[in-house]
Structure 1
Amino acid sequence: MELLIDDSVLVKKYMQGDESSLEILINRHNKRLSSFIYSKVQDREITEDIFQDTFIKVIKTLKRGKYNEEGKFLPWVMRISHNLIIDYYRKSQRMPKFETNNDYNLFSVIRDEGLNVERQWIKDQIDAELKVIIKELPVEQLEVLEMRIFKDMSFKEISENTGVSINTALGRMRYALINLRKLIDKYNIVLTN
């Protein structure tokens, strides 16, 4: 009978101190969330770690009373896990990977053949200027742009997370790019180095 209780009711009950409500939510969404995480990382242990970290964040957010009921519970939890997956990949790629053999060459690890110091500085400047001007976009466009570009989310995921149709998400992205071009012209930003 308890499985018929709506997620939002269970969230409220948990926030009021009913610990068993969270257990029901975890059990209800365990398989779908685990499958989603595993599809991205392809490793059982990492999947379990990210799953646990996801619910640690869920618990902390709920305990602080910061949960926003506008979104549905599952898409919110999926977004948290998606962000943790991105964090996992960022951390794992931060450290250079190299094979341990006798031909090891330190310079092959630290050398960046694509950018010299001057080019890197110019690229960093362009990135910094773009981060400032995108803040001028309307909120809906900025949200879609950040999800698509910085979080690498599909338009289907963006649609689910924002509660709008895929066509609306695509439209917002299109207008974000149009407005971004206007802002680049307005501030006379040169995008080539």
Structure 2
Amino acid sequence: MKRRRTDGRPLQEFETFTLGINETDPVSVANSYATLAARGRFCEPTVITEIRDASGAPRSFPPRCREVLDPAVADAVTAVLSDALAGSLPQGVGREAAGMPGTSDGYTAAWYAGYTPVLASAVSLGDPRGAFQHTLQDVTVGGRHYERVEGTSIPGPIWKETMTEALRDTPETGFTRPDEGRFGACRDACPG
């Protein structure tokens, strides 16, 4: 399956591509993070998982999943994103979590996306009148003035609050630790 941008065009590819040059939607971003949480297993987003007819007989729509990333690589990325979340404004949801803010060039949009081992979500903020015509600079949102909106200023707190509430009363699980031998055994304390 060929991945596409939000506007339906093919993804742009550049030799220096890292993040941020293609338009995307919050569901795709959250699903990418869910793939990391699932240790490299990608599942197509599914809105309806079961329908029952008038007699109560169910018709199920099972997930369509496949491995798209080496589990050890997904674990290593999760460790990096766990550190990123711990060092950012949201600072977690009261359990193991990973996440990353995003702010587009020119403050046309701001994001926060993250995940726990069982739940991923993304918050995207932009002006509905057109992000490139109406940037997130010198704006008032919810009665508060922002010189410029960044991923941690509004999307981060929204992400934290909704994830915290969604995870309330759910069992706590942990991430699989990365392979330190393969991905940097001296991350915390390297010999000088």
Normalising by structure 2, what TM-score?
Answer: 0.24
Higher strand share: 2
Question: Which structure has the higher relative contact order (CA within 8 Å, separation 6+)?
Answer: 2
Higher helix share: 1
Rg larger in structure: 1
